[in-house]
Amino acid sequence: MAPTGSRRPGHSRRAQYGTFLNYSLAVAGAAAGGALLLVVASDATAFSGLRGAATDLAAPAGEVGAGARAESQGLLLTLGAYFTKGSRVAQLEREVAQARVRLVEAEALHEENRELRALLKLSQSDPKPIASARLIGSSASSTRRYATLGVGSLQGVAPGMPVVSPLGLVGRVLEVGRSSARVLLITDSQSIIPVRRASDGTVALAVGHPDGTVQLKLQSLGVNPLRAGDAFVTSGSGGLFRPGIPFAVVARPTRDGAIARPLSDPAATDFVIVEPQWDEAGLDSTLPAPAGGQ
Amino acid sequence: MPLPLPLPKPIREIGRKRINRAPSPLLAVAVPWLVVMAGSLSPMWPVIASAPILPPIGFLMLVAWEQLRPGILPVWAGLPLGLFDDLYSGQPLGSAILLWSIAVILLDFVETRFPWRGFALNWLFASAVIAAYLFLAQALAQPGGVGVPLAILPQLGISLLLYPLIARLVALFDRFRLMPVREA
């Protein structure tokens, strides 16, 4: 039968009321969505418990996929490497020779650093990792950049903790479920991280871009000293991230800073490490206990 | 041992049980909801992206169901399905509830206003809805509206090209939904 173009189902009052109720519910649903958006806009942590529980439920499926992802990436890399083997081996050998020299220098600096710290009576220890886990998912279809982590409050993870991979900073924990956590990646537009240039300590703020890069905004005005290839590490100010976590490399300088590419590609990392917040770790180990407490 | 081995039972049953069968009412009702929810779980797929590249699979499936079987999802379906999508998508909670509700109402209007549509027209309407959805979703996701609309262009292209494929997939699930499995 040809559709009539009318939503009126017939003479039955009951059916008419049913149709009316359906449309009322639909409009009410849209209004409820708008109201929820307003609530979330005023308090970003609202409903984080609900999201945490939902992610906990779906986390086991994500774990399976995460293993497959790591394996398939490895396979593609191996296949690709065959085509450029010769030139890459030569280049890598050159780099290894240079790196050996650098390593010796670094060891000397490390030793010197330890002695200086001992003089200042600062503790040397890096913070002990809370947990290590796989990234099991990410908000790949949203312009916000979140990832899901396979550990949660049961393993001692708490909001604000930095998440690092062997290559560098990945992000920080935003919301925690019982066995999963939501990580704000460094490329999210709400992520602002204090960084400094590794070579001379030029300070900048790194703001994420939705296209997978970060924008470095220099703290001091003047001639832009940044060049492509400059490496940046976290500066440790603000007390969330410990100083010296590798962060990003400048891709191209802009008028008041630079666009930089993060060092740790979350897609290529297999396991990441959750570290305690730096200020807590620092307070525990460097300051003497308050006198006359307890 | 008898030489002509009997075929396994499931193979022998093929074709024998087609007559006097009806679709299971549970499957017929539940499959559209489950398929859209499975699409909403795409952030749990093994893709860790540093830029928005994956199309909103759940939303594409919702649009495809609405175009293939108008009215199979009630017009208020945007509320529960959007809530489920918001829990996983990383968008602020409420964004999918709002946008999916509006999309379902809009597609319902298109269905009553333009009942005779071919593949090209369906694709055109779906493209307009998807483009509007992606643009509004990124505006809602960035507090203060400081979004970068250019960043969604690759995602938009992938979504529009992927839509016919998703529609075929949904048609496959529709056949599964109406499989005669129950004795009438």
B122 has pLDDT over 70 = yes
Residue B90 sits at the vertex; the CA angle it makes with B134 and A177, to the nearest 5 degrees, is 165
Per-residue pLDDT of B79-98, as tens digits, reads 999 999 998 888 888 999 99
Q: Which of residues 5-64 of B touch A (CB under 8 A)?
A: 41-57
- Across chain A, which distance is largest between two alpha carbons, in Å? 92
Q: What is the mean pLDDT of residues B41-69?
A: 86
Q: Which two tokens stand for residue B88?
A: 């996983």
Which has the closest alpha carbon to A245: A126, A125, A105? A126
B115 inside 8 A of chain A by CB = yes
- CA B106/CA B89 separation, integer angstroms: 22
Q: Which of A103-112, A171-180, B108-117, B142-151 is least confident?
A: B142-151
Give the residue with greater pLDDT, A63 vs A100: A100
The DSSP annotation for B148-162 comes to -GGGGHHHHHHHHHH
Taking contacts as CB-CB distances below 8 angstroms, the residues of chain B near A259 are none
Amino acid A285: pLDDT: 45
Q: What is the mean pLDDT of residues A35-59?
A: 83
B147 inside 8 A of chain A by CB = yes
Per-residue pLDDT of A75-121, as tens digits, reads 667 777 777 778 888 888 888 888 888 888 888 888 888 888 777 76
The DSSP annotation for B72-109 comes to SS-TTTHHHHHHHHHHHH-SPTTHHHHHHHHHHHHHHH
Which residue intervals of A152-202 are DSSP H helices?
none
SS percent in chain B: helix, strand, coil, step 5: 65, 5, 30
Q: What is the mean pLDDT of residues B91-110?
A: 93
Contacts of A167 (CB under 8 A, 6+ apart): A246, A263, A264, A265, A269
Average pLDDT, chain A: 81
- CA A185/CA A138 separation, integer angstroms: 9
Asked if B64 and A22 count as a contact pair (C-beta separation under 8 A), the reply is no
- CA B126/CA B73 separation, integer angstroms: 17
Classify residue A204 by burial, with Cβ atoms within 10 Å: 0-12, 13-18, 19+. Answer: buried
Q: Which of A109-118, B130-139, B145-154 is least confident?
A: B145-154
Q: What is the mean pLDDT of residues B149-177?
A: 90
Q: Does domain A131-279 have CATH number 2.40.10.340?
A: yes
pLDDT band at A125 (very low <50, low <70, confident <90, very high): low
Amino acid B4: pLDDT: 64
Asked if B142 lies within 8 A of A262 by C-beta distance, the reply is: no
Q: What is the mean pLDDT of residues B38-50?
A: 80
The CA distances from residue A65 to A57, A71, A134, A136, in Å, are 15, 10, 10, 7
Residue ranges of domains in chain A? 84-124, 131-279
**Best of A6, A141, A148, A271 to disrupt the B interface by mutation (most B CBs within 10 Å)?**
A141
- CA B119/CA B140 separation, integer angstroms: 31
Share of chain B above pLDDT 90, in %: 51
- Across chain B, which distance is largest between two alpha carbons, in Å? 78
Contacts of A229 (CB under 8 A, 6+ apart): A249, A250
- CA A249/CA A238 separation, integer angstroms: 21
Asked if B76 lies within 8 A of A29 by C-beta distance, the reply is: yes
**Best of A21, A43, A142 to disrupt the B interface by mutation (most B CBs within 10 Å)?**
A142
Asked if B112 and B74 count as a contact pair (C-beta separation under 8 A), the reply is no
Residue B93, min C-alpha distance to chain A (Å): 6
Number of DSSP helices (H) and strands (E) in chain B, helices first: 7, 2
